[in-house]
Amino acid sequence: MSREAITDHVAQGADHGEPTRRLVRRPLSWRAEVRRQLGRRRTLWAFGLLLALPVILVAAFSLGDESSGGGRYVDLAQAGSANFAVFTMFAASDFLLVILAALFAGDAVPAEASWSSLRYLLVAPVARMRLLASKLVVAIGSTVTAGVLLAGWALLVGGLAYGWSSYTSPGGLSLDWADFGPRFALAVVMILVTLLQVTGIALLIGTVNDAPLGAVGGAVLVTIVANILDTIDALGDLRHALPMHYSRSWIQALSADITWTDMQRGALWSLFYFVLTAALAFWWFRRKDVLS
């Protein structure tokens, strides 16, 4: 919201004889934040890249020899819609979706600061906690939309390109669509729950740092460092507490016997990091001197 728009909004209230204090009870709505999110160029580019990924993968597979089987998800990606969708989520969950989650959450507050509109939003007046809460809710909603959209789009593109055969795992397990559908939905949910910790970290860095690139890059850097530390066997069980340690636990949803332990631990650790970082973000933002 620009300075002029805020000024006009306050002026309209004054013209109609409305007390200024009534604006406090009606701060920036979540609907307005959703419109702002969807209208931003980086959001459109992000979703455009997301929709392009399955098409790019199909084009890449068409350039090589078709693989009839193997021990990896990529080897079975052309076996049908189900396998292609699983491979797409496998390829995107560790990097692309992480970047999008960090982008939606980390860029929310610094973008306002870079436009020099944050202080005017708070002078409107807009309650700080409501402002940050609306940006967090919209960031989570955008991330969920991205994950669900990618899964559904990958199923459709895979079906059109390779047919609608049932799912076959690298280990030889076959699941018909009646079994695969709920399991794949559970896998997508687990991916989205895992991304909550990225959202919280990005939001926290975004409230501390006014540079959008710094907030997004900082959150991605944290996940990269955590993944590097996760490869160090000397850390032992301490690795289980690292962010993103259970980022691939969603694969268990597609195994012969669903192993709930890793998925439960992954969900709990992700929620822990999300609650911790989000609470710190709200605490810091409430006390922060807004100068831009």
Q: What percent of the chain has pLDDT over 90?
A: 54
What pLDDT is recorded for position 292?
46
Of 13-22, 106-115, 223-232, where does mean pLDDT reach its minimum? 13-22
Q: Which residue has the higher pLDDT, 73 or 280?
A: 280
Task: Give the integer Cα–Cα distance in Å for 34 and 38.
Answer: 6
Q: Tally DSSP H helices, then E strands, for the chain.
A: 12, 2
Amino acid 278: pLDDT: 95
pTM: 0.82
Other beta carbons within 10 angstroms of residue 68's beta carbon come to 9
Q: Which DSSP symbol is given to 19?
A: -
CA distances from 247 to 10, 57, 102, 129, 265 (A): 47, 22, 15, 30, 11
**180-205 pLDDT, tens per residue?**
999 999 999 999 999 999 999 999 99
Measured in degrees and rounded to the nearest 5, phi and psi for residue 167 equal: -80, 140
Reference 152, options 84, 99, 254; nearest CA is: 84
Domain count, the chain: 1
Q: Is residue 253 included in any domain, yes or no? A: yes
How far is the C-alpha of 285 from the C-alpha of 203, rounded, in Å?
10
Residue 129 lies inside a defined structural domain of this protein: yes
**What is the per-residue pLDDT for 66?**
59
* Tens-digit pLDDT profile for residues 159-171: 999 999 989 988 8
Confidence (pLDDT) at 273 = 96
Cα separation of 27 and 156, whole Å?
40
> Does the residue 4 lie in any domain?
no
pLDDT for position 10: 41
Residue 88 pLDDT greater than 60, yes or no: yes
Confidence band of 256 (pLDDT split at 50, 70, 90): confident
7 domain-assigned: no
Residue 225 has pLDDT above 90, yes or no: yes
In this predicted structure, the answer to whether residue 272 has a pLDDT above a threshold of 60 is yes
Which pLDDT score, from 0 to 100, does residue 89 have? 95
Instruction: Calculate mean pLDDT across residues 80-104.
Output: 94
Structural domain includes residue 150 = yes
**Is 40 inside a domain boundary?**
yes
3-class secondary structure, 172: coil
Contacts of residue 283, defined as CB under 8 A and 6 or more positions apart, other chains included, come to none
Mean pLDDT of 217-228: 93
Q: Which domain holds residue 171?
A: 29-287
pLDDT tens-digit readout, 128-144: 777 888 889 989 999 99
Residue 21 inside a domain? The answer is no
Asked if pLDDT for residue 222 goes beyond 70, the answer is yes
Is residue 120, in this structure, part of any structural domain at all? yes
DSSP three-state, residue 112: helix
d(CA 46, CA 44): 5
The pLDDT of residue 154 is 96
User: Residue 21: its pLDDT value, please?
Assistant: 43
How confident is the model over 59-85, as a mean pLDDT? Answer: 81
Query: Residue 112 pLDDT more than 80?
Result: no
217 contacts: CB under 8 Å, gap ≥ 6: none
Query: For residue 126, what pLDDT band results from cuts at 50, 70 and 90?
Result: low
